[in-house]
Copies of this chain bind each other. A is one copy, B any other.
C-alpha cells in the first residue's frame, strides 16, 4: 500500500504513540512470561516460553516499525514552535510495512502452536491438529502479502479471497475439531479455551478489515492512521493478552494436575481464612 504524503501533527502523534505502546507492551510481556514461567508445572512451560517468543519477535518488529515510521516523516510548517503543524513523507525509503508480514509469518504459526501445546493433549491428537493448523496459517499469510502490496483493486480482491480459504479452514479446526479433542479438559479450562478462540477471531478479524480499506476507497491519511492503530492494538491483544491467557490456562491446569502445586502457588494465605 502506498504511503500517505502528509499527516497532521495529531495524526503523526497518534501513530507514533501507538507504535511505542505496542513495543512497550510486547517487551514487558516477554519478560513477564519468562520470569513467571516457573509458576506453572514443567509440562506447561513450553507453551509459556513460546508465548514469550511470540511477544519477543513482535517487540523486535515494532522496534523496526517505530524507527521506520519516525524516520519516514519530517516535521514541516511553522505551527507553534516545537509543535510542527504537519509531517511530510521524506523522499527516500518511506515507511516499511513489510515488517508486519514478516512478523505474522513467524508469530501466527507460533500462536497456534502455543494454543495446542497448553492443552497437553495426547501426542497423536496434538500432532494431527498442528499438522493442519500450521501449514494453513503460513499459507494464509503468504497469500495475503501480494494483495497487501498492490495498489490495484482486482488483484487485491483475488489474493484476499484466496487468503480467506485457509483462514476459514483454521476456524473450522479450532472451533470444531479442537472442541472434540478438548472435551475432557477441566471446566474452567474449557471456558478459557472458548475465550481464547473468540479473542483470536475478534483480533484476527481486524486484519482483513484493514486490508479491505482501499477497496472501499479508504486510502487517505485518516484511513492510514486507523489502519496503524487497528493493527497495533489488534497485535497487542492477539499476542500479549493471548499469551497471558495461555499462562492463565497453564496455571489452572497445573493446579488441577497437582494438589501440591495448588497448595504452594494458589492457596489464599492461611491467615485470611
Contact = CB atoms under 8 A, between A and B. Distances in A.
A125 to B, nearest CB: 9
Contact of A257 (B17, B122, B270): B270
A81 B91 contact: yes
Interface in A21-63: 21, 23-25, 27-28, 31-32, 34-37, 39, 41-43, 45-46, 49-50, 52-53, 56-57, 60-61
Identical subunits present? 2
B82 A53 contact: no
A101 B64 CA distance: 22
Contacts of A202: none
A120 B265 CA distance: 10
A121 B270 CA distance: 10
B45 A2 contact: no
B2 A83 contact: yes
Given A21-B102, A84-B94, A49 B32 contact: yes
A3 interface: yes
A238 B15 CA distance: 28
Contacts of A84: 91-94
A239 interface: no
Contacts of A35: 34, 37, 49, 52
A92 B80 contact: no
Interface in A81-139: 81-84, 89-96, 98-99, 101-103, 105-106, 119-123
Q: How large is the interface on A (under 10, 10 to 19, 20 to 34, 35 or more residues)?
A: 35 or more
A180 interface: no
A2 B105 contact: no
A47 to B, nearest CB: 11
A25 B272 contact: no
Contact of A268 (B25, B64, B122, B270): B122
Top-4 shortest CB links A-B: A82-B94, A3-B82, A120-B269, A82-B89
Given A2-B82, A186-B271, 20 more contacts: A3-B82, A17-B98, A28-B56, A28-B57, A28-B60, A28-B106, A35-B37, A39-B42, A41-B264, A72-B82, A74-B92, A75-B91, A81-B94, A82-B92, A83-B94, A84-B91, A119-B269, A123-B268, A184-B272, A257-B270
